[in-house]
Amino acid sequence: AQSVTQLDSHVSVSEGTPVLLRCNYSSSYSPSLFWYVQHPNKGLQLLLKYTSAATLVKGINGFEAEFKKSETSFHLTKPSAHMSDAAEYFCVVSGLVRAGNMLTFGGGTRLMVKP
Amino acid sequence: GAGVSQSPRYKVAKRGQDVALRCDPISGHVSLFWYQQALGQGPEFLTYFQNEAQLDKSGLPSDRFFAERPEGSVSTLKIQRTQKEDSAVYLCASSFSTGGTGNTIYFGEGSWLTVV
């Protein structure tokens, strides 16, 4: 079985300050992990993915995430928030629990950025 | 097309009506997924196709839900006798291959279904 827990349903930061969105996972396999972003009325966009190469993964728009196996975590960070970062963020684990590389989503974290 | 395309983008159905939601995956993508996203929640898996074969439909919530992909390209999700609890965004996604958990999966913008 696999599951994902996003520890904060809402995060509020001021523009220009760091962003930290927390994610813990469980998986019976060596997982692949992803972060997706969803802007209002828009589709899911891939920010970054971890697939057992480097543990520090860099994504688009200045985001990065670090895979820590000992902590079963995959937290998303950005040094300086921008107003356009306000959106819903999903931590996702992929595993061959059934046919195909099915994705299991966390509950999401809504990031709010204050001017 | 350049991305996964879904239609209609928005659908309002009266309770009891049947609806059909269409997905055009990225050309050449073998794998196709349907997800359901209720308001304020993360997407949940419904069903998976590899080409025209429906290999997993364990996430379909009831026998009112039916999906097909007859020629291994376009897929249709059909909901019969819609109920209010079916109100959600239905997301279609596709990926190029079937193997490996690290394949990038691309999502469409979703079909927003409201049952009144």
Residue whose C-alpha is closest to residue B78's, from B40, B39, B111, B42: B111
* Nearest neighbour of A101 by CB, restricted to B40, B42, B103: B103
Res A27: pLDDT: 78
Give the class (CATH, top level) of B5-115: mainly beta
Going by pLDDT thresholds of 50, 70 and 90, the confidence category of residue A96 is low
The model's confidence at residue A99, banded by pLDDT at 50, 70 and 90, is low
The DSSP string of A82-93 is -GGG-EEEEEEE
User: Domains of chain A (ranges plus CATH)?
Assistant: 2-114 (2.60.40.10)
The per-residue pLDDT for range B41-68, each reduced to its tens digit, is: 899 999 999 999 998 898 999 999 999 9
Compare all CA atoms of chain A with the CA of B103 and give the residue at the minimum distance.
Answer: A101
Q: How far is it, in rounded angstroms, from Cα B81 to Cα B55?
A: 25
B33/A103 CB distance under 8 A: yes
Tell how strand A10-14 and strand B5-7 pair up: unpaired
Q: Model confidence over A9-26: pLDDT tens digits?
A: 999 999 999 999 999 998
Cα distance between residue A109 and residue B41, in whole Å: 10
B31 bridge partner residues? B50, B95
pLDDT of A36-93, one tens digit each?
999 987 889 999 999 877 889 999 999 999 999 899 999 999 999 999 999 999 999 8
pLDDT of B91 higher than 70? yes
Mean pLDDT of B14-34: 95
Sign of CA pseudo-dihedral B51, B41, B8, B46: positive
Q: Which of residues 60-99 of A touch B (CB under 8 A)?
A: 90, 94-96, 98-99
Q: Is the pLDDT of residue B1 over 60?
A: no
Confidence of residue A100 (pLDDT cuts 50, 70, 90): low
Residue A98: pLDDT band with limits 50, 70, 90? low
Q: Where are the domains of chain B?
A: 5-115
